[in-house]
């Protein structure tokens, strides 16, 4: 019995050395394994801290120092947080009763005390005037206090509030509430009366970090210790690690996350906050509570392996690329061997880094480009060209990234269209030769047209010497497969003998191959025979109808008629070859005209004799009297200016006018 009592007494003393005097803590059922060391997850972080301090250090869990930065306190410092201007760091002073202290960010001083309560999870409001923290002396309620004096401030939530995060505009608070043995995420207005706000994540959560733009919230799932990213805008969630993460923070630009990797000795890891990956280690000691300076240049954290001192790491600047452009929007046979690209907005503030650039067509396998830059560089540019002749036609996406010797930059990309050159198969004609029957309209057909591109306008052109091409009127739209194009040509202007016809198409970017056809022309023309029997009919105030007999055919056929006046001026042009009548309009009333009809071909023209006529008189007002004598109708129109007499005798009509004096 005495041995049993002795063992119980020793166990009780051991427990007493692990607990803070006067405070009781409960152990949760969840456990985590650190490199084979069994460690319970405790309800209260203060108990876990003492557990880590006394058990982990005493068991030799002290990694070799690597690129771990420098200590900037000589004592334990938890929950470090930079002021928005970067000049100060506030923290919970482990050696100072866990009160809030404020120190200069550039030295290793202790700083000044800012409160008299046991404080955890500190965060500044965006204006730098206030601090938000968990007050352990008031049931773990979240408090708001001045960032510049000793006053403890006032509670803004009910009890058991942890891990506060403030929205970028300073209006809202995100935090974790413990209730009914579970921790869930809530949101409330900072300046609203004391309340717990609205539930936004209904599951066990042990740590949170709000993105700089306020749109995403990283949290640790208490069920599996893995990290998740909650999109607060779209209310979606995705897993982002396959290992447990204890504490974590966004970088100021939101591009990456620093977190404590529970599966690798609690080292700090850096990763993309939006993808499922575990990232890479950035130090070699067990670390908690990472926090960035506002400019992202420095990272402070609590070094568990060195008595919970606050350490500061100067973060290397990861090269940033702005955008990529190309002077060519479409790649074709004219430029595919050397496509010009330009990267702009290149930034790397580190000194002496050699920046290499590489390209990829699948965003996976990258090939280095030959030219490099040396940092520092601000808003720089990088120009290069690529031979894309071996790439298949269609969309080509070019991915570019840089590397500063230690880490890859972001990837920028551009998508260009590599054009398919249109292809023609052959040119045929329904006529085997050119003669007088078809010389004015030779039917031709382009066969086997192929262009798989989308929405290109295919224009066609012809030539007789394969040098000077003339556009045809009709067009086509790609994609087209084994298509045809029908057209006709007037070949009256070509010399007799062998006539070569060449045709090609252009899709707006490049010409196709040329197809050709050779036909024999035997179509010598003679000057047409002049039209005869020219009459004027239906003469009106403003026009007249001409009719004639077409006397041209065979070797002297015309290809058009024209109307000319007595001075040989063309009055009406492009009257059809087979036409025998036409109306001329736009004439002046009571005016005499002379007209002749001419037949025209490439050999010349022949015109009829001149015909004379006078347009009708425009009569306004007056009195009309009509007499009918056995079929002879006489109309007498009397006006103030004249008498007009019109005789209608069968097919004949006689008009005359008598002016008044």
- 349: domain CATH number is 2.60.40.10
Same domain flag for 432 and 458: yes
State yes or no: pLDDT of 537 exceeds 90.
no
Lowest mean pLDDT among 27-36, 279-288, 355-364, 482-491: 27-36
Q: Is residue 449 one of the residues assigned to a domain?
A: yes
Same domain flag for 464 and 536: no
Same domain flag for 514 and 450: yes
Same domain flag for 436 and 563: no
State yes or no: pLDDT of 223 exceeds 50.
yes
Lowest mean pLDDT among 192-196, 551-555, 587-591: 551-555
Residue 332 banded pLDDT, cuts 50, 70, 90: confident
Of the two residues 652 and 207, the one the predictor is more confident about is 207
Same domain flag for 398 and 489: no
Residues 6+ apart with CB under 8 A from 74: 108, 110, 309
- Average pLDDT in the chain: 85
What are residue 61's phi and psi, to 5 degrees?
Answer: -80, 75
State yes or no: pLDDT of 652 exceeds 80.
no
Q: Is residue 62 one of the residues assigned to a domain?
A: no
pLDDT at 525: 67
**Strand stretches in 452-511, DSSP E:** 457-463, 470-477, 480-489, 497-506
Residues present in the chain in total: 661
Same domain flag for 332 and 218: no
Same domain flag for 115 and 238: yes
The full 3-state SS of 537-601, as one line of letters, equals ECCCCCCEEEEEECCCCHHHCCCEEEEECCCCCEEEEEECCCCCEEEECCCCCCCEEEEEEEEEE
Task: Name residue, tokens 């702009």.
Answer: 344
Average pLDDT of span 152-169: 94
pLDDT at 340: 96
Same domain flag for 306 and 332: no
CA–CA distance, 661 with 657 (Å, rounded to integer): 13
Token pair belonging to 296: 């992202």
Q: 204 with 183: CB under 8 angstroms?
A: yes
Q: 80 with 291: CB under 8 angstroms?
A: yes
Of the two residues 269 and 95, the one the predictor is more confident about is 269
Of the two residues 250 and 351, the one the predictor is more confident about is 250
Q: Is residue 240 one of the residues assigned to a domain?
A: yes
pLDDT at 414: 96
Residue 440 banded pLDDT, cuts 50, 70, 90: confident
Which uninterrupted H or E stretch holds 652?
Answer: strand 652-659
Residue 649 banded pLDDT, cuts 50, 70, 90: confident
Q: Is residue 142 one of the residues assigned to a domain?
A: yes
Average pLDDT of span 592-608: 92
CA proximity to 554, closest of 439, 443, 441, 442: 439
Same domain flag for 536 and 515: no
Same domain flag for 472 and 590: no
378: phi > 0 → left, psi -120 to 50 → alpha, else beta; which? beta
Average pLDDT of span 279-286: 92
Count structural domains, the chain. Answer: 6
* Residues forming beta bridges with residue 434, ordered by sequence position: 521
pLDDT at 14: 41
Average pLDDT of span 309-326: 91
| Structural domain range at position 634 | 623-659
pLDDT at 432: 87
Residues 6+ apart with CB under 8 A from 36: none
**Strand stretches in 262-410, DSSP E:** 267-271, 280-281, 287-292, 298-303, 309-314, 323-326, 330-331, 339-348, 354-360, 367-368, 373-374, 377-386, 394-403
CA–CA distance, 220 with 239 (Å, rounded to integer): 10
pLDDT in tens, 112-151: 999 999 998 999 999 999 999 999 999 999 999 999 999 9
Give the CATH number, domain containing residue 496: 2.60.40
Average pLDDT of span 373-397: 93
């Amino acid at each position: 019995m005495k041995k049993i009592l002795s063992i119980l007494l020793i166990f009780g003393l051991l427990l007493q050395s692990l607990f803070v005097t006067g405070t009781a803590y409960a152990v949760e059922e969840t456990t985590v394994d650190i490199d084979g060391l069994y460690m319970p997850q405790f309800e209260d972080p203060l108990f876990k801290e003492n557990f880590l301090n006394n058990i982990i250090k005493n068991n030799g869990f002290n990694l070799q120092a690597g690129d771990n930065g420098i200590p900037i306190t000589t004592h334990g410092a938890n929950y470090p947080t930079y002021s928005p201007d970067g000049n100060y760091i506030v923290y919970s002073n482990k050696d100072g009763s866990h009160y809030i202290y404020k120190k200069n960010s550039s030295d290793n001083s202790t700083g000044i005390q800012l409160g008299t309560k046991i404080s955890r999870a500190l965060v500044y409001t965006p204006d730098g005037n206030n601090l938000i923290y968990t007050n352990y002396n008031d049931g773990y309620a979240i408090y708001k206090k001045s960032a510049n004096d000793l006053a403890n401030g006032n509670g803004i939530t009910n009890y058991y509030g942890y891990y506060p995060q403030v929205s970028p505009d300073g209006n809202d608070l995100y935090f974790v509430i413990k209730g009914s043995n579970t921790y869930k995420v809530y949101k409330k207005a900072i300046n609203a009366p004391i309340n717990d706000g609205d539930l936004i994540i209904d599951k066990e959560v042990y740590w949170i970090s709000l993105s700089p733009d306020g749109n995403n919230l990283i949290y640790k799932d208490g069920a599996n210790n893995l990290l998740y990213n909650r999109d607060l805008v779209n209310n979606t969630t995705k897993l982002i690690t396959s290992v447990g993460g204890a504490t974590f923070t966004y970088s100021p630009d939101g591009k990456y996350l620093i977190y404590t990797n529970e599966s690798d000795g609690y080292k700090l890891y850096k990763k993309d906050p939006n993808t499922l990956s575990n990232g890479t280690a950035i130090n070699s000691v067990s670390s908690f509570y990472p926090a960035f300076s506002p400019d992202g240049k420095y990272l402070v954290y609590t070094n568990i392996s060195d008595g919970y001192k606050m350490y500061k790491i100067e973060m290397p600047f990861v090269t940033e690329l702005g955008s990529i452009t190309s002077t060519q929007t479409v790649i074709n046979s004219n430029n595919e061997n050397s496509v010009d690209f330009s990267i702009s907005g290149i930034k790397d503030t580190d000194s002496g880094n050699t920046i290499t650039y590489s390209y990829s067509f699948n965003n996976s396998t990258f090939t280095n480009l030959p030219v490099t830059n040396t940092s520092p560089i601000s808003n720089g540019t990088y120009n290069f060209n690529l031979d894309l002749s071996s790439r298949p036609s269609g969309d080509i996406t070019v991915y570019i990234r840089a590397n500063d010797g230690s880490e890859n930059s972001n990837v920028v990309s551009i998508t260009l269209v590599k054009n398919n050159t249109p292809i023609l198969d052959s040119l045929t004609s329904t006529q085997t030769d050119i003669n007088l029957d078809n010389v004015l309209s030779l039917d031709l057909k382009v066969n086997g047209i192929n262009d798989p591109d989308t929405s290109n306008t295919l224009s066609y052109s012809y030539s007789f010497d394969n040098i000077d091409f003339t556009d045809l009127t009709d067009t086509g739209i790609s994609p087209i497969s084994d298509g045809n194009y029908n057209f006709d040509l007037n070949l009256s202007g070509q010399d007799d003998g062998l006539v070569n016809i060449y045709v090609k198409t252009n899709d707006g970017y490049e010409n196709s191959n040329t197809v050709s056809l050779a036909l024999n022309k035997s179509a010598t023309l003679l000057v047409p025979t002049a039209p005869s029997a020219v009459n004027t009919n239906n003469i009106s105030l403003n026009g007249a109808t001409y009719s004639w007999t077409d006397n041209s055919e065979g070797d002297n056929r015309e290809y058009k008629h024209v109307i000319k006046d007595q001075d040989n001026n063309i009055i009406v042009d492009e009257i059809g070859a087979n036409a025998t009548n036409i109306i001329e309009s736009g004439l002046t009333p009571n005016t005499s005209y002379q007209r002749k009809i001419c037949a025209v071909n490439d050999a010349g023209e022949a015109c009829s004799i001149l015909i004379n006529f006078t347009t009708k008189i425009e009569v306004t007002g007056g009195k009309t009297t009509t007499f009918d004598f056995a079929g002879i109708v006489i109309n007498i129109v009397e006006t103030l200016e004249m008498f007009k007499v019109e005789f209608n005798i069968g097919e004949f009509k006689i008009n005359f006018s008598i002016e008044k004096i």
